[in-house]
Structure 1
Amino acid sequence: MSQPETPVELRPLPPGTGQIVLSPSVPAEAPADLVRDLYRLSDPALSELGLDQFLDELLNRVRDALGVDTAAILLLDREAKQLVARAAKGLEEEVEQGVRIPIGKGFAGRIAAERVAIFIADVDHADILNPILREKRIRSLLGVPLIVEGDLIGVMHVGSLTPRVFDAEDLALLEVAAARAAPGIERARLYTALEREHRVAVLLQRSLLPRGLPDVVGVPVAARYLSARDEVGGDWYDVIELPEGRLGIAIGDVVGHGLGAAALMGQLRTALRAYAQEGHGPSRTLELVDCFVQTMPQQPMATAAYAQFDPQSGKLALATAGHLPPAIVGPLGPRSLRVTPGAPLGAFPYGAAPEQELTLQSGEVIVMYTDGLIERRGEPLELAIDKLLELIREASSAEEACQLAFDGLVPPEGLDDDVAIVALQNAPVPNALRLALAADPKVLAHVRRAVRRWLSEYGTGAERSGEIALAVSEACANAIEHAYAPGPASFELQAEVIDRDAVFTVRDWGRWRPARRGNRGRGLRIIDAAMDDVRLETTPTGTTIVMRRRLGAG
């Protein structure tokens, strides 16, 4: 025999409020249709939705279950001590207008302040703060607090466009809906916050990684990066142009995940780049970065590897701080470098990273990577490194080495950890150099590096190659300065050897114009002084300057 329904306890408020406080009360035995509605409201699948979808679906189910015209949820802004309209059905204007209700004021504010259910039989004669409720001609309201582990997170209320006396079953249903909904809302809100943080961390990390890699003749570089599936880490890489045509190549991994790790990654990358460009070698650079890490209040820990490559000699200087050893692949096959690593950055005060030097033979590629690429639960590290070496065995370029490693070790669904790879090759310089360049003064440094690198293949000494590179750069500057009006344009540089002469041709497709800034005659004097022969040809379709210089070791 079923027990009688537990009555709702009513406590009238002071005269003129038009409100009744309802004590939390759940029927001892609910009817079948109520049980069915409760199951719909407590559906576990709801908690898997993002916050917006969760609230939308929840309010649809609440409105259907109670047979009401409106349903709304206001969430607590703790700092402002206000309730903020977050989702609504039949009261969408609340959300669109960003309605805020102070705690303790009006219908919803009273519910939040006293943490009790409140029923309003006639809105027209009640203390209502939100004018939208009257504008929508709502006659009766019922609201309950949303509480998670003793903490108020918001208010849920429903309304009817016709006078209605909400009974014990209505209250029980709304209370149970609130009890089930509150944790779901908190989970969904946390999920949304984590999702937002993940997106921000990914954007931050990608913004802190190089937007492009240096284009150096004879030293092609390549890189790959993939953030973790769920939480961004602190993996990073960099390729740094250094004085005298050298290149720095670096990789690192900050311990931890999320925005903090991404921000620290940016600081470490910037610090390493700055110290490297001051002229320090790999060991000293990592030592200075470690000193920088020691001063950080977060007391982070990170691993890093940094190498400097000299294309003229093929020499590579390398130091690591707790990082995995780089791999080398080339005509003689793949191998993992035997390195003596220093301690991770931030692990011990005044840590040292031993430096070693090797020769990167013509055609060889050095590949640096983070542990996310190879480490798998339950697999020995040595086997993981061997697998990587086998995958890149046939790589003939830096780009191919990165792609083979990525394709072979990163599944389509991604990994639980970040992955970063950066590779550099000591590539043979082509016999003939052909560069298509933007008519922008920024390319002139690249021109000088390319010419010096190309001349080094023919045994030209540093002093002579510097003179020639400067002269070619001046010819290119003339093309940029005289050939085009401001705006996008391009020119071409070719270099080849004819009868032991280095022959350089700079060709543009503009019309010769006076210099935009001052007198450029100095550039022509530099060209004449550095070259054995100079010929200038101007036509309606453009200008060509051909320069010759006898090759030699001097």
Structure 2
Amino acid sequence: MTADFVVDPGSPEQRRLSSPATVEEQLSLLNEASRRIGSTLDLRQTARELMEVAVPRFADVAGVAVHDRVVSEGEYPGRTADGTATVRRIAVGATGRAAGYRPAFPLDEVTTYPAWSPYTRCIATAQTILYPRMDVGTAREIALSWKRDVKISLLEDASILIVPLSARGRVLGFVVFTRMPDSPAFHEKDVALAEELAGRTALCLDNARLYDRERRTALTLQSSLLPADLPAPPGLEIASRYLPASDLTGVGGDWYDVIPLPGHRVALVVGDVMGHGTRAAATMGQLRTAARTLAGLDLTPKEVLFRLNRMTQDLDATQIATCVYATYDPITHTCAIGRAGHVPPILLGPDGGTELIELPPGLPLGIGGQAFEMRELTLPTGSVLTFYTDGLVESRDRDLDSGIRDLRRVLECSYQDLEDLCDATIATQRPPHERDDIALLLARVRDLSPAEFASWALPFEARSAGEARRLVRTTLRSWGQTGVLDTTELVVSELVANAVNHGTGPIELRLLRGSTLLCEVADRSPQPPAMWRPDLDDEAGRGLNLINRFSYRWGSRPTSTGKIVWCEVRLP
């Protein structure tokens, strides 16, 4: 059998039923229908199975047409003003001697039938229409309604049954059974058998429709919550893939994200909500939003995971999730990673070897209230961080350790392009029906170029503010960013003066050009800056107010040796 054509095998079991069919013949056909129709939750496959049962035993030719909106959206259409019906042909079956029907009634054709046509009346009334022998006038009218060349001879004098596909009080479409002019005509007693076949098929089709609608909803929700475009953070090359499973039970809560952080640092997140379907996808969306919100607070990975754990318990006590969260600083190449029950990340070194990043696994989010741990490491230039979900490495016939070993072997192949490496990794996966959904996130470390980063050590003395202004002027002119020169001079001068007046030396000044211009001043004092409103006669206290006024945003963060105060200036 091809996609739209059933070839008559000529076996004794496929011989034409009597007209009308005997009770034994009816029971035999219905028994076969019960056994063969509805083996999958697929609209087209279910319709094809009806063709296999009905042709040639019950008809020379048969076809199934359902509302086009049922196929495209999983929904029933509303009533049209002109009474027309738009349907899509999803299966056609014919015996070998009825080959002329195949080009006349192509598979997947969308047709709008006028209100007077027998097909539309069948849908509107949910009643079977029988033509023991179709007269030439009716055949001509129907052929003309298709607005294309259809041989009237295919319909003239043929015996035709048009049977509604009714399930749960709604009509999905219809099935047409046709016997050629040289075959015995349908008898009125054949109507009951045709309706029984159509009824069983309709229920299976409606089950497939409901399943497909639920899966489509879950996939749409899940994909809409994943980032459409990942940012390109300084010092990192990013590539990602998301691969949904084919069945509803595999549509889960996998997600990934790349979140810009203050100071042109970045957070990398991959998570997996346990469970499947729309509920898991909805929980994934809430956790992804929560992770982005917490990332904006510039928390460490262990602090983010701790708060995500509490939020997961508040959202739904029955839902748990795994997650790996990392932050990366492109200036120092420092990466801090924490995980909550998630599969371990893999580091692909610049020499082509791989290693598992060893860090405490932690419990999944939603379980207990324990603190999480994290690990800090310095990533060499050219190394690739690999974050993934368990669907990539675990299946029914492959345990987790074996899957991770297989993944490491793929990563160790010499792929210079990250997109090619993503494709090669995904290509090793099993068919969709044999696996869970998959999220994959790769991040390659690169050095910042002199055209985007500059740093200087400054003496711990008042004149360093003037030296900082000179360095800023020279650097921004070489970068072609004279449009922000005056603003940047002002805010950098205030940052350095603030460090001299309230911090501890030595001082380091950094400029990093990305989507904005980042200005950082590091000193050895752990005391964070505090902005306050000075009185009119105060001689100090206006520096942070000026920074707040002229920069896009500003803040501070602790370091192992003190703190960094930073601000960002919008680039033209």
Please indicate the TM-score interval, normalised by the length of the shorter structure.
Answer: 0.5 to 0.7
1:343-365 superposed Cα distances (whole Å, 9 cap, x missing partner): 111233x2432222222233332
* Cα 1:461/1:251, change in 2 over 3 Å: farther
Q: Does 2:299 correspond to 1:280? A: yes
The aligned residue for residue 389 of structure 2 is 370
1:38-95 superposed Cα distances (whole Å, 9 cap, x missing partner): 8998894787695479679979979996899x999999x99x9xxx97789xxxxxx9
Partners of 2:162 and 2:294 in 1: CA distance: 62
Partners of 1:146 and 1:275 in 2: CA distance: 52
Q: Which runs of 5+ in 2 are unaligned?
A: 1-19, 79-83, 90-110, 116-120, 133-141, 143-159, 179-184, 495-520, 524-572
Secondary structure of 2:446's partner?
coil
State how 1:36-435 maps to structure 2 within 5 Å. 44=36, 51=43, 96=112, 170-230=187-247, 231-297=250-316, 299-331=318-350, 333-348=353-368, 350-393=369-412, 399=418, 402-403=421-422, 406=425, 409-410=428-429, 416-430=435-449, 432-433=450-451
| 1:398–1:425 contact (8 Å) kept in structure 2 | no
| 1:460–1:553 contact (8 Å) kept in structure 2 | no
| 1:367–1:423 contact (8 Å) kept in structure 2 | yes
* Cα 1:281/1:98, change in 2 over 3 Å: farther
Partners of 1:289 and 1:466 in 2: CA distance: 41
Q: CA deviation at 1:419?
A: 1.4
Q: CA deviation at 1:232?
A: 2.5
Q: CA deviation at 1:306?
A: 0.4
Residue type of the partner of 1:375? E
Give the alignment partner of residue 506 of structure 1, picking from 453, 468, 480.
480
* Cα 1:171/1:40, change in 2 over 3 Å: farther
* Cα 1:98/1:356, change in 2 over 3 Å: farther
Partners of 2:459 and 2:271 in 1: CA distance: 36
Partners of 2:35 and 2:297 in 1: CA distance: 61
State the TM-score, normalized to the length of structure 2. 0.55
Secondary structure of 2:187's partner?
helix
Partners of 2:420 and 2:403 in 1: CA distance: 16
Q: CA deviation at 1:247?
A: 1.1
Q: Which runs of 5+ in 1 are unaligned?
A: 1-24, 89-94, 100-105, 122-131, 133-140, 161-166, 434-449, 476-503, 509-514, 531-551
State the TM-score, normalized to the length of structure 1. 0.57
Identity %: 30
1:213-268 superposed Cα distances (whole Å, 9 cap, x missing partner): 22233222222221123343221111111112221111001112233332222221
* Cα 1:404/1:156, change in 2 over 3 Å: closer
Q: CA deviation at 1:335?
A: 0.7
The aligned residue for residue 104 of structure 2 is none
Partners of 1:553 and 1:295 in 2: CA distance: 39
Between 407-416 and 35-44, report the one with greater CA deviation.
35-44
Secondary structure of 1:220's partner?
strand
Q: CA deviation at 1:303?
A: 0.7
Residue type of the partner of 2:194? A
Residue type of the partner of 1:238? D
Residue type of the partner of 2:359? V
Q: CA deviation at 1:279?
A: 1.8
Partners of 2:428 and 2:439 in 1: CA distance: 12
1:429-473 superposed Cα distances (whole Å, 9 cap, x missing partner): 34x53xxxxxxxxxxxxxxxx43xxx25x7789999997998699
Secondary structure of 2:267's partner?
strand
| 1:398–1:424 contact (8 Å) kept in structure 2 | no
Partners of 1:416 and 1:226 in 2: CA distance: 10
Residue type of the partner of 1:390? R
Secondary structure of 1:341's partner?
coil
| 1:321–1:353 contact (8 Å) kept in structure 2 | yes
Q: CA deviation at 1:391?
A: 2.3
Secondary structure of 2:315's partner?
coil
Between 402-411 and 463-472, report the one with greater CA deviation.
463-472
* Cα 1:280/1:97, change in 2 over 3 Å: farther
Between 297-306 and 458-467, report the one with greater CA deviation.
458-467
Between 185-194 and 169-178, report the one with greater CA deviation.
169-178
Residue type of the partner of 1:186? L
* Cα 1:284/1:414, change in 2 over 3 Å: same
Residue type of the partner of 2:226? L
* Cα 1:236/1:111, change in 2 over 3 Å: closer
Partners of 1:186 and 1:320 in 2: CA distance: 46
Residue type of the partner of 2:256? Y
The aligned residue for residue 485 of structure 1 is none
| 1:111–1:143 contact (8 Å) kept in structure 2 | no
Partners of 2:239 and 2:391 in 1: CA distance: 18
Secondary structure of 2:236's partner?
coil
